[in-house]
Amino acid sequence: MTSIASPSPALSPAAHAPLGGRTALVTGATSGIGAAIARTLAAAGATVLVTGRSEARGRELVQEIDDDGGSARFLAVDLGGSYAGLRAFVAEATALLGGRIDILVNNAGIYPAPTTPDLADADLDAMLAVNVRAPHVLAAEILPAMAQRGSGVVVNVGSWMASVGNPFAAMYTATKAAVEQLTRSWSAEFGPRGVRVNTMSPGATLTPGNEAARAVLDAMTAGTPAGVVVRPADIADGVLFLASDAARMVHGSILAVDGGISSTRGA
C-alpha cells in the first residue's frame, strides 16, 4: 500500500459546514461516483481519504480537492486482496485520518454483467470479494470504534438493479442485494450504539467509464419520471444527506436516487 498525503494540512471548516471537523473514508473514489462523493464530502467540510488502485488518479483528485479549499489524502488499496491486507489498510487509513473514521462510504464495486452461463469464475470471485467481502471486513474493523465513541455513519452504495429482475448481471445484482441486507443488519447491530447505517441506491448513472453506453442509458431512462440519466453529483448529494446530521433519524434505509426507475420500471 502506498499513501500520499495532501500537501497542505487539514483546514478548519466554517462552523456552518455540515461535516466540519469530521473524517470520511470513501472506497473506489478515484473516478466516477466515488470521486463525486469525495469532492462533495470535502466541500461540506470533511477531511476525506480517497482510496482506489490508481495512484495517478488519486493524486489528481486530492490536488483538485486541495485547490478547491478542501482537505484530502490518498491511500492505494486492492479491495480484492487478502483479509490481512484489508485490515492493514484500515489501520493505515485510520492513522492518516488522525486516529478516527467518522464516515465510511462503501462505494467500490465491480460489475461484469454477462448472462449467468457466461460469467467467468474469476469475475464471480472478484465480485464477491470487492462488492461483499471488502465492505464486511471494513465494517468489522471500523464500526466497533464508532460504536465505542457513540457516533458514526456508514453509507453503502447499492444499485437500483438489486430490487428488480433482469435477464443479465444476476450475480452483480445479487451482490448489491447483499449490501442492502448488510445495511439492515448493521443498523440493527450498531444503531443502538450511535452508528447510522444506510444504503444509497443509484439508478442508471452516466460516468466517464460508461460514456460509450450513453445511448443505452438514455433509452433506459427516457420513460422514467426524471426522464434523464442520473449524474454522479446526484448520488453524491444523496450521500451527503445520509452522512449529515439532517439524516439523524434515518437508520437502515435504502435511499433511491434513481430518477424513479426502480419504482416505475415497466409502467
What are φ and ψ of residue 196, in 5° steps? Answer: -95, 130
Which three three-digit cell numbers place residue 126?
472478484
For residue 103, give the 3-state DSSP assignment: strand
Which one-letter DSSP state was computed for residue 34?
Answer: H
Sign of the Cα pseudo-torsion (135, 183, 160, 22, in order): negative
> Quick check: 26 and 48 in contact, CB under 8 A?
yes
- Residue 90 to residue 121: CA distance in whole angstroms: 28
Q: Which of 172, 178, 244, 258 is catalytic?
A: 172
- Residue 2 to residue 263: CA distance in whole angstroms: 42
Which residues touch 163 (CB under 8 Å, ≥6 apart)?
177, 201, 262
Which one-letter DSSP state was computed for residue 164?
Answer: S
- Residue 109 to residue 143: CA distance in whole angstroms: 20
Q: How many CA atoms lie within 13 A of 193 on its CB side?
A: 11
Which one-letter DSSP state was computed for residue 153?
Answer: E
Let me know if 83 is a catalytic residue.
no
Q: How many CA atoms lie within 13 A of 133 on its CB side?
A: 18
Which three three-digit cell numbers place residue 1?
500500500
Which residue numbers are catalytic? 172
